[in-house]
Amino acid sequence: MSSPPPGAALATTTPPSLPGPPSPVVLILPPSIPDNGTRTAAATPPPPPSNSTTLVALGMGIGIGGAIVLVCVGIFVIWYKRRKKRLRLGGFAYAPSQGSKDDPFHAPQYPWQHPASPPSGNIIGEPPNPTLPLGISSQSQSSSVDGSTKKTTFTFEELLLATKNFAHTNLLGQGGFGYVHKGVLCDGKHVAIKQLKVGSGQGEREFQPEVETISRVHHKHLVSLVGHCISGIQRLLVYEYVPNNTLEFHLHEKENTSINWATRMKIALGSAKGLAYLHEDCKPKIIHRDIKSSNILLDENFEAKVADFGLARLYSDNDTHVSTRVMGTFGYLAPEYALTGKLTDKLDVFSYGVVLLELITGRRPIDKSQHYLDDNIIDWARPLLTQALENGDFDTLVDPRLQTEYDSVEMTRMVACASLCVRHFARRRPRMSQVYMFC
């Protein structure tokens, strides 16, 4: 059988009983629409948008708008937290004029606008504005507690000779720890020798911390440790001699005369500078724990020197929850320390505020002559501090021995400083470097 030639059509025979297939229908597309094999009705219009499509579009719009709002809120929160952190690190804000619920003192805000004095003489820094100034380094001769300076070790016989066998005529003072005698070393140097009571548990506990703490620091407004003595059961500390007694003596015990206002300012600034050095220049910081007028010694020029480091503690910034056995002097203890033993540098700030109240008012921290609630200087002074800062009248607050012999601008600064230092909550008190700047 021969094959058909190429291109020839094959004949199809359909049985007569069956109908033939329908003729093929050819769809001719318009020239402008290419035939890509898709059969689409060219004249069919798109369906109108349904309700579900509208809702989806509306939801997308709301979602995008909400996202933008959330981003804006997030940016604001980040900015606000950073700003708050800067304020917390850089300064201490005053309370609003109506006070706050967590501050029982309700110290008002006072917009002092008088110009700041240059750092010279007895007035240093600027007046208290709504935010206190940045902390400063209180002394160029900053010292690290780790970089200690070696002190002299004395024999007991040397100190016996220096004090003439601890003669009563050389007795400078005494307390629960023991006695302090004046002495003259073999080189002619005058010293104060602190002899701890034999068998005194507190004396033993205080001796080592005091040697370790004060022997490693040096500052114009801190009493210098010359050396120490350990001989059998005897424990003695040898200090530089500060000849002009204590602030307590000049405020409360010296009869007929009183230190003038300029001298009180000088003492306040000097002791603040010494404490700022302990808190902020020493690494780790040192918390004194027993700031009071009897522990502020005065030299012949009434320069203040903070003394008695028997209760001092080294404190690292990493120690966020340090509690200790409560020790100190009643009338000077911060409330959080007295109640819980929680130890921070704000304990010293509170005690310093009490000293400022003594300088302003001439009153003792605890007035034993008063048998009522106002025997405590803080309870007595708080309403008067607020009143004086509001109306500028200090007559009911100021030591009567000063009469009107004081500078009203300086008094305003010191009163404001005292009111901040004795705030009930530790976190609301300023740092000592801030106190030094605007006091």
| Start-end of H helices in 178-260 | 201-214, 247-248
Looking at the domain assignment, is residue 328 inside a domain? yes
Tens-digit pLDDT string for the chain (439 aa): 445 555 444 444 444 455 555 555 554 555 554 545 544 444 555 555 556 677 777 778 888 888 898 888 888 888 777 665 554 434 433 343 344 443 433 344 333 333 333 333 333 333 333 334 333 334 434 344 444 445 689 999 999 999 999 999 999 988 767 899 999 999 999 999 999 887 666 666 677 777 877 777 889 999 998 999 999 889 999 999 999 999 999 999 887 678 999 999 999 999 999 999 999 999 889 999 999 999 999 999 999 999 988 778 877 665 555 556 677 788 999 999 989 888 899 999 999 999 999 999 999 999 876 655 557 999 999 999 999 999 999 999 999 999 999 999 999 999 999 999 999 999 999 999 999 998 7
| Final residue belonging to a domain, choices 219, 241, 263 | 241
Same domain, 270 and 216: no
Annotation marks residue 290 as catalytic: yes
Same domain, 263 and 333: yes
Nearest-angstrom CA–CA distance, 4 and 430:
114
Residue of 47, 17, 16, 43 lying closest to 30 (CA atoms): 43
Give the three-class secondary structure for 2. Answer: coil
Q: Which residues contact 255 (CB under 8 A, 6 or more apart)?
A: none
Same domain, 204 and 266: no
Looking at the domain assignment, is residue 49 inside a domain? no
DSSP code for 421? H
Q: Tell whether 273 is in a known binding site.
A: no
| Final residue belonging to a domain, choices 196, 218, 241 | 241
Count of domains forming the chain: 2
Same domain, 273 and 219: no
Same domain, 308 and 225: no
Same domain, 236 and 261: no
Domain holding 225: CATH number?
Answer: 3.30.200.20
Same domain, 363 and 435: yes
Beta bridge partners of 306: 222, 296
Nearest-angstrom CA–CA distance, 375 and 364:
9
* Residue whose structure tokens are 């309403």: 383
Looking at the domain assignment, is residue 10 inside a domain? no
Same domain, 194 and 313: no
What's residue 112's pLDDT? 35
Exactly one of 35, 102, 281, 290 is catalytic; name it. Answer: 290
Same domain, 226 and 361: no
Same domain, 388 and 254: yes
Q: Which residues contact 87 (CB under 8 A, 6 or more apart)?
A: 93, 131
Q: Which domain holds residue 163?
A: 145-241
DSSP code for 78? H
User: pLDDT digit string (tens) for 209-246?
Assistant: 778 777 778 899 999 989 999 998 899 999 999 999 99
Neighbours of 53 (CB within 10 A): 10
pTM check: above 0.85? no
Amino acid at 358: E
Q: How many angstroms separate the Cα of 439 from the Cα of each of 133, 267, 276, 351, 409?
A: 11, 11, 13, 15, 10
Same domain, 412 and 390: yes
Residue of 364, 240, 358 lying closest to 299 (CA atoms): 240
Same domain, 196 and 237: yes
Looking at the domain assignment, is residue 150 inside a domain? yes
Looking at the domain assignment, is residue 36 inside a domain? no
Domain holding 391: CATH number?
Answer: 1.10.510.10
